[in-house]
Structure 1
Amino acid sequence: MGRAGHAGPGPAGERDAVATTIKDVAAAAGVGIATVSRVFSGTGSVSAATRERVLAVAGDLDYRPSAVGRSLKTRRTGGLGLAVPDVSDPFCAEVVAGVLECARSLGQHVLLDATLGDPAREAEIADRFAEQRVDGVIAMPSGVADPWTGFGRTGVPLVYVGRVPSCRSWAGKVPAVLADDAAGIRSAAEYLVGLGHRRIGFLGAPAPGTPPDVREDAFRAALAALGVPVDEDLVARARPTRDSAYAAAAGLMQRRADLTAVLASGHLPGEAAVLVARELDLRVPADLSIAMVDDIAWAELADPPLTAVNRPARDLGYRACELAARGTARRGPAGPVLLPTELIVRGSCGPAPSRRDRARH
């Protein structure tokens, strides 16, 4: 009669219905069940010869350790929870790709969900990850609310990626892997001022009632350092949606005919700036220069191609996964990990037009 889990007598060598168990491996290898368990868990002392014999027998019997059994013993799933606002968003998609690449290299699996920018949905996902007892959490928080902090209190590694909660109480209490947005905004603002622009709109600042974020603070600081007054009427606020970004861009460009440049705080307001400029028959960059944060694929394909601050989304995801999977986050943050940004100069920015030039057009 065939060994359990292997082809026995029967048509076409069909496998027996009963799968190979750890007892079968132990019996065939001439060792105890505890020894087989130590080999596959990587814990405890096992001689090299015994380990090789157990693995050889397991391979011959096509034995696979039970993930369910391991999770019952450890009370963990052995996976990482990953939450992003929108998996279809180009920046989020690259972050996810980086996390998956790292997880694959570490032998981890990932539970992925999207918050859709909804605080209630985000809280539900956090609760679900807690119920599933994930080994670590990587979160791109969606706003002011922060339902993730409970993981840190229970010893589960928690890492923010790409952004942190906009509440000031965060204050570096949770490890984070971030792009150096301040440096990116500063380089873009300096570039526009160097081209002679003084009436620069900042499009996509946090919506009214929420505190300024790193990008708005950096924009204000950069202009102040360059001796350019910040015109509050040129700071256009929007929620992180296409409709809100479009409304903010339309309001800004229609309200301020003297505007010569727009620095968009992300690719959604950047897209809105391009659309509204086209609808208002503004020539880019002759009438209006446009630069944005996030060098996503369509930026290079726009006409003209857009100047953009490149944030290394895939690297952000990879590094955050390393921290969460290896438990580095348990040791407490030593400040956020900042990855460098780069200003990619393209044809959407040019010298500031004079009032006469714009009037002639």
Structure 2
Amino acid sequence: MKRTTIKDVAEAAGVGVATVSRVLSGGSASPETRERVLAVAAHLDYRPSALGRNLRQQRTGGIGLLVPDLTDTLYGRLAEGVLACARSAGEPVVVGSTGDDPEQEAELIGMLLEQSVDRVIAVPSGDAEVWGPAMRAGMTVVFVGEQPEQEPGDDDPLDELLLLDGVRSAPRPDSAIPTVLADDRSGVRTAVQYLKGLGHRRIAYLGGPGHPRRVAAFRQALGPLADEDLIVFAGGSRDSAYAAASSLLQSHRDVTALLAGGNPLGEAAVLASRELGLRIPGDLSLVMYDDVPWAELCSPPLTVIAQPGQDLGYRAAELVLRAGARRPRGVLLPTELIVRGSCGPRP
């Protein structure tokens, strides 16, 4: 007979997986919701093996790794770093793809809890509430590559990082989840300064979900030259990225340089430029955040902001394996501007 899962309880109770996890781990919920979830769980004979105190008592080891897209080259390199570190520690790794969707992310967290996995490395979707049940259940969590959105007025925990052992780090207060990031702000600033040095003034930014630090760095680096009409965001799909790039380049013919905030966005910018008959770099200089194999094979090869994907994963695994030790609040790894043939002087 198939064992009842947390997803079965959520569907029967008409709530999300995150809500079921929150109720069963003693978190906040309305009296009506709590009563309904508990009644359904009892009716279905659901036995949460790893919630609350049972998580510590029944620990089986292992590391959960949650990324938005397993086909993305960056996340593949990140996973390689996690696997290399986990292998050296003799720990198995359970990998899941969230699709950058908070509901799917919550479901995977629930599954990891059921499987008694108590260490998780995640590229978070951006919804901090999804992680409440995991934290209340005693999971050790490390974020990598991204941070959930903060409430307005919250300090950025990486604003006060100090250089230590080749990376920047800061003490971690008990309430904060350690985060391993690439220094995207420095990378974006360097790229914009490079384009300005080539004479470009109408510089556009093509972004996707997340990465608010990159957008903020872009605006700051451009200063008075920043034009909000030239800062465009796409959804998470490749079709959305292509549509956004094509619309931007068609409606703003005076744009002479474009910074793409990720490799799917860079791919979309290259395709849209070709469709519109724009020469790179004759008509449009292009910089892409993240170095991937095809970037060097383009004609011309793309100038990129390279981030150390494998090192990001390795450092995140090191942090999550430091059970009981005082871990830094954040680790910031350097980025590098690699100049290739996709940028030239302003036409």
Counterpart of 2:337 in structure 1 is 343
- 1:180-329 to 2 correspondences below 5 Å: 180-206=183-209, 213-224=212-223, 228-327=224-323
Matched, 1:80 2:74: no
Counterpart of 2:95 in structure 1 is 112
Contact 1:246 1:272 in 2 (8 A): yes
Structure 1: how far apart are the matches of 2:92 and 2:240? 36
Structure 2: how far apart are the matches of 1:146 and 1:284? 43
> Which amino acid is the alignment partner of residue 346 of structure 1?
R
Number of residue pairs matched by the alignment: 274
Give, in angstroms, the shift of residue 149 of structure 1.
3.6
Structure 1: how far apart are the matches of 2:220 and 2:240? 25
Deviates more, 1:160-169 or 1:228-237: 160-169
Structure 2: how far apart are the matches of 1:260 and 1:297? 25
- 1:166-177 to 2 correspondences below 5 Å: 166-168=149-151, 172=157, 173-177=176-180
> Which amino acid is the alignment partner of residue 248 of structure 2?
L
> Which amino acid is the alignment partner of residue 237 of structure 1?
F
Q: Give the TM-score normalised by structure 1.
A: 0.72
Structure 2: how far apart are the matches of 1:117 and 1:155? 24
Counterpart of 2:144 in structure 1 is 161
Give, in angstroms, the shift of residue 72 of structure 1.
10
Unaligned 5+ residue runs, structure 2? Answer: 1-53, 158-175
Q: Give the TM-score normalised by structure 2.
A: 0.75
Give, in angstroms, the shift of residue 238 of structure 1.
1.1
Report the 3-state secondary structure (helix = DSSP H, G, I; strand = E; otherwise coil) of the residue aligned with 1:281: coil
Counterpart of 1:96 in structure 2 is 79
Structure 2: how far apart are the matches of 1:305 and 1:171? 35
Contact 2:55 2:118 in 1 (8 A): no
Larger radius of gyration: 1
Structure 1: how far apart are the matches of 2:156 and 2:296? 36
Specify whether residues 279 and 201 from structure 1 end up closer, same or farther in structure 2 by C-alpha distance, changes over 3 A only.
same
Q: CA RMSD in A?
A: 2.1
Identity %: 53
Give, in angstroms, the shift of residue 142 of structure 1.
1.8
Report the 3-state secondary structure (helix = DSSP H, G, I; strand = E; otherwise coil) of the residue aligned with 1:148: helix
Contact 1:80 1:135 in 2 (8 A): yes
Structure 2: how far apart are the matches of 1:140 and 1:149? 16
Report the 3-state secondary structure (helix = DSSP H, G, I; strand = E; otherwise coil) of the residue aligned with 1:336: strand
